[in-house]
Structure 1
Amino acid sequence: MRGARLGWRAIAVALVLAVATSALTACVPPPVLDEFRRVAQHLLNKDQSTTATPAPTDRVYRGNTGFGDLKVGDCVNDLAALDYTVILGLDVVSCASPHDSEIYALPALAPSPTYPGDDAIQSLADDACHSAFKPYVGIDVERSDLDYDFYTPTENGWTQDGDRTATCVVFHDNAQTTGSVKGTAETSVTSS
């Protein structure tokens, strides 16, 4: 499971480098859920109050909550945002209703004012989100039917806005989840 994702991540990074031509203050997620569909969201805005302006050709998704206002335990519908090149926020919904993902950790990545590079940021976020999975869900990700993904700051967000936080999301592959997965320690959760 982890090895297959690493292979897709390398392909997705190559595709993203070909697609991503602007340096917006944004967050970037590695592809995990639907590798080719997630490539479209590799320029995400971490906070609606950023200094960067999307290019006229960018398709902007605003969501109802900016990345800077998201909290651990928030349930979000983020799949609709995947067709956009810039995401200024996600749609937070009640966890009692069907939703795409749940935020389970917001780890700080590194204090350095110098951007460590895309690969280093992806690796730091992957390690932090992997480590936070079991304490939140109650079971190792390798034993769970759930999976995780994350959003990370871009170089512009890192250097200009001081954004050093990853946003870790847990989801049920190929289905929405109803209810929180916190502490379920199950290999599967109720999905719609």
Structure 2
Amino acid sequence: MNATASDEPNGHAELWLIRHGETPWSLSRQHTGRTDVPLTERGREQARMLAPILAQEHFDRVLTSPMSRAIETCRLAGLGDHAEEEPELREWDYGIYEGRTTDEIRESAPGWSVWDSPMPEGESIGEIEARARNLVQRLAALPGRTALFSHAHFLRVFAGCWIGDSAALGAHLLLDTATVSILGFERENRAIRQWNVRHPDVA
């Protein structure tokens, strides 16, 4: 893994996005929103591999989703002692599609996609975009480096809102388990500095 902080933040915010380690449902590609699925043993090992990378950096604040898979990843990665729970970092609420794979959903809803299809009893793309944009505005105003432990779809939405105020941009940003991505600034423009960096020993 070659995740590197900016040499000179220039007073701007720098956000390190860390997706939690593997869970049984991430392995089977089931949508995991409000269900508190724990890490697998492989997921715990993935999280431990993040520790020496993150230990090289100073973080002014560490925020984590309230879900145990994110909290445990944060702890095993060595930042648990400094973490605060941030409710806005929770994963997308998939409503009736919770626990189902996209292929299973498409059996009854052909062509369904999380990015442009209805989410009955869950969170619409407009609602998650509003949640992410609010958090972007809050964190962009805080100078220094922040670590965010969260989930695949929310972090993709968050990054889309960071670079273009659009949740839909997240459809183009793949994100694996236990990866580090870095958002920052290029002069006055919000930018992606690194994306989906994983430890070389993680298959």
Q: One fold, TM greater than 0.5?
A: no
Q: Which of the five TM-score ranges fits, normalised by the shorter chain?
A: under 0.3
Instruction: Compare relative contact order (CA 8 Å, sep 6+) and give the higher one, 1 or 2.
Output: 2
With the length of structure 2 as denominator, give the TM-score of the two structures. 0.24
More helix by share: 2
With the length of structure 1 as denominator, give the TM-score of the two structures. 0.25
